[in-house]
Structure 1
Amino acid sequence: MPVDIESLGRAVKQAQYRNHRALETALAQVGTTLVQWDALRAIARTPGSSGRELAAETFQGEQSFGALAGRLEAQKLIERRPGRGRRVEHFITEAGQRVLADGRPFASGALAESFAPLDEEERATLLALLQRMVGGAARG
């Protein structure tokens, strides 16, 4: 019997929504949001990246990411520096590194709880299937 593709899409969205809510709640305990934490992770992974690159990496528009970067800079969590031409490069500060370090146990706990219904083999299968859908390796 064929799978109802709309039901499949909705189930993926429901899982994502529940996962995001759990992460938001967990990260609030260290005074950050999922969007901020995700941006800090992206900047830490690829120091010197442009706003355009980081917007794509964090699934945001360039304008939205620019506003977020401004807030992170005002909080002294990142630095933005001029690059070549009009490029602005982003770097995480020590304070930003602390937010990441403080948030990791909370995020890991929330993620472990989200994926608890699946055993290790099922998690590996889900990851492989999702990576195949998006055409490459998922990043953390």
Structure 2
Amino acid sequence: MVVEASSLGRAIKGVQYRHHRALDAGLTAVGTTLAQWDALRAIGEHPGSSAHTLASLTFQSDQAFGTLANRLAAQGLIERTSGHGRRIEHALTPAGLRVLEAGRMVYQSVLEASLAPLSEAERMTLLALLERIGGPAVR
């Protein structure tokens, strides 16, 4: 049997779509969106990072991340300060940290439910295969 690349691509996209729908629903309950929570996650894991770095970590363009960061700052979830040169650095506020932690519980729950059918060995194999075609996972 030959597995078509398009079949694999659609299967990967299907899993991603289901994750996004479940995460959007769960994160709405804690007062955020998937894009906002992912930005908070990146800022929390990389405090003081530039918008460009954070855009890369969240798979967004610099412009899209800048717009999102402005909304997060307006909501009091992050602080943006001047860094070296034109660099703008980002940090979570206490309110941002609370939203991040609430969202982290949703995130873990969704992913654990999705991956529950896989054994630990299968999870390790899946990670290795995805890293082989997509590069190392950011941990």
- Same structural fold, with TM-score higher than 0.5 when normalized by the shorter chain: yes
Following the alignment from structure 1 to structure 2, what is the Cα–Cα distance between the partners of residues 26 and 122? 26
User: Runs of 5+ in structure 2 lacking a partner?
Assistant: none
- The equivalent of 1:6 in structure 2 is 6
> Which residue number in structure 1 is paired with residue 57 of structure 2?
57
SS at match of 1:59: coil
Question: In the alignment, which residue of structure 1 is the partner of 2:29?
Answer: 29
Matches within 5 A, 1:83-102: 83-102=83-102
Q: TM-score, normalised by structure 2?
A: 0.95
Q: Specify the alignment match of 1:139 in structure 2.
A: 138
- SS of residue in 1 equivalent to 2:2: coil
TM-score if structure 1 supplies the norm length? 0.94
- Cα distance in 2, alignment partners of residues 47 and 135 from structure 1: 23
Supply the distance in 2 between the matched residues of 1:82 and 1:22 (Cα, whole angstroms): 36
- Structure 1 unaligned segments of length 5 or more: list them: none
Deviation per residue, 1:31-82 (Å, 9 max, x gap):
1111101000100111111111111110001111000000000011100000
Partner of 1:106: 106
| Residue 67 (structure 2) aligns with | 67
Q: Does 1:126 align with 2:111?
A: no
**SS at 1:49 equivalent:** coil
What are the equivalent positions in structure 2 for 1:76-87 lying under 5 Å apart?
76-87=76-87
Runs of 4+ in 1 over 2 A off after TM superposition: none
Residue 139 of structure 1, CA deviation: 2.2
Q: How many residues align?
A: 139
RMSD (Å) for aligned C-alpha atoms? 1.1
Rounded to whole Å, the distance in 1 between the matches of 2:106 and 2:52 is 29
Q: C-alpha distance in 2, partners of 1:17/1:85?
A: 39
Q: Which residue number in structure 1 is paired with residue 19 of structure 2?
A: 19
In the alignment, the residues of structure 1 paired with residue 109 and residue 76 of structure 2 have an alpha-carbon distance, to the nearest angstrom, of 27
